[in-house]
């Protein structure tokens, strides 16, 4: 069964009002489309936790800090609808741009602190674009639950903070990273890698795993991170934005593994920016 594709907020509201009138719980899975198994894992979680599931597809111009990246972002709506069919989601909300940003739109939702390092330091305005659109999607769908991937670990932390700070009555559910057989985290941007670059790409995850193992074995954090950076560059990546150990909740930098932590990385390969991360627990 193919879900209806809704373009207008009024149509979404009409549908969700009916559901709410029946006391049903609504989940939303926000995406930018070009769906893959990572997105579909979020849909499965949403289905298990709610009566109704809305998948949103909106390539949000405000979260792109690079015009070329926005222009090249894959747009595959018909394929996306076909991939969602087996999951029997209740609606695909693919709003017309003016439904998200009507003429005169003048509001930015901005989270301080958590957004300042990691991807925030390398992608000016990115998280403001994310929190602004996610706040809109929460208001438009009035979802009870929203599923986000740990693939974008900083984004997950930022969205949680925003929902808490603004008293948005939505439960944020974080879902594990889905990977290819060789370890590469699934991403809509992976299709832009040449075959040669695609073969090199798993070096990022392997470097994180090696660093995690080294830190667990007592190697000083700075040394393990430097080795990971060297391995990624030696493996064919053009540059590394960051490879860092952070506290899992606050994302403050750690130089000792003394609490639940996350190793996070962003690096450029073949003109594509790839991100990945890995959880670490103290001994």
Secondary structure (3-state) at 80: helix
Helix 221-234, helix 203-216: angle, nearest 10 = 160
Q: What residues contact residue 139 under an 8 Å CB cut-off, 6+ apart?
A: none
Q: Which residue is nearest to ligand AMP (CB)?
A: 149
Q: How far is the CB of 218 from ligand AMP (least distance, A)?
A: 31
Query: Looking at beta carbons only, is 16 or 31 nearer to ligand AMP?
Result: 31
Residues annotated within the binding site for (R)-pantoate are 63, 155
Residue ranges of the binding site for ATP: 32-39, 149-152, 178, 186-189
- Residue nearer to ligand AMP on the CB measure, 184 or 224: 184
Looking at residues 17 to 56 of the shown chain, list those that interact with ligand AMP (rule: CB under 6 A). Answer: 31-32, 38-39, 41-42
Q: Give the interface size with ligand AMP as a residue count (CB under 6 A).
A: 17
Which parts of 188-227 interact with ligand AMP (CB under 6 A)?
A: 188
Strand partners, 56: 30, 93
Q: Minimum CB separation from ligand AMP for residue 31, in Å?
A: 4
Catalytic residue among 39, 122, 126, 268: 39
User: By C-alpha distance, which of 276, 279, 46, 281 is closest to 180?
Assistant: 276
Active site residue 122: no
> Dihedrals φ, ψ of 81, to 5°?
-60, -40
Q: Is 53 exposed, middle or buried (0-12, 13-18, 19+ CB in 10 A)?
A: buried
Nearer to ligand AMP, 151 or 262 (CB): 151
Residue 181 burial (CB < 10 Å; 0-12/13-18/19+)?
exposed
Binding mask 148-187 for ligand AMP (x = CB under 6 A): xx-xx----------------------x-xx------xxx
Strands (E) across 143-205 are located at 145-149, 171-175
Closer to ligand AMP at the Cβ: 148 or 224? 148
**Minimum distance of ligand AMP from residue 33's CB (angstroms):** 7
Q: Return d(Cα 160, Cα 173) in angstroms, integer.
A: 9
The distance of Cα 3 from the centroid of its chain, to the nearest Å, equals 23
Complex with ligand AMP: residue 27 or 215, whichever CB lies closer? 27
Report CA dihedral (270, 276, 282, 283) to the nearest 10 degrees. Answer: -70
Q: Residues with catalytic annotation? A: 39
Name the site residues for ligand AMP (rule: CB under 6 A): 31-32, 38-39, 41-42, 148-149, 151-152, 175, 177-178, 185-188
């Amino acid at each position: 069964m193919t879900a209806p594709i809704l373009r207008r907020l009024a149509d979404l509201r009409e549908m969700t009002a009916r559901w709410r009138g029946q006391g049903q719980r609504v989940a939303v899975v926000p995406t930018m489309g070009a769906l893959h198994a990572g997105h579909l894992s979020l849909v499965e979680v949403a289905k298990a936790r709610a009566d109704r599931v809305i998948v949103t597809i909106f390539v949000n111009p405000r979260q792109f800090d690079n015009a070329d990246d926005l222009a090249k972002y894959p747009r595959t709506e018909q394929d996306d609808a076909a991939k969602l069919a087996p999951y029997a989601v209740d609606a695909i909300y693919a709003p017309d741009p003016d439904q998200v940003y009507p003429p005169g739109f003048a509001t930015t939702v901005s989270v301080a602190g958590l957004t300042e390092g990691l991807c925030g330091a390398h992608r000016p305005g990115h998280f403001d674009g994310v929190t602004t659109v996610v706040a809109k999607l929460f208001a438009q769908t009035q979802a009870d639950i929203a599923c986000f991937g740990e693939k974008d670990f900083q984004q997950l932390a930022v969205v949680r903070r925003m929902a808490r700070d603004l008293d948005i009555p939505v439960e944020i559910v974080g879902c594990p990273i889905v990977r290819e057989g060789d370890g590469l985290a699934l991403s809509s941007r992976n299709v832009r890698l040449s075959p040669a670059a695609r073969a090199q790409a798993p070096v990022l995850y392997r470097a994180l795993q090696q660093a995690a193992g080294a830190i667990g074995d007592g190697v000083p954090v700075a040394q393990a991170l430097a080795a990971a950076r060297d391995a990624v560059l030696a493996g064919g990546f053009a540059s590394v934005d960051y490879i860092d150990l952070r506290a899992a909740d606050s994302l403050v930098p750690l130089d000792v593994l003394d609490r639940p932590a996350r190793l996070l990385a962003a690096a450029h390969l073949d003109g594509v920016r790839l991100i990945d991360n890995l959880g670490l627990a103290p001994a």
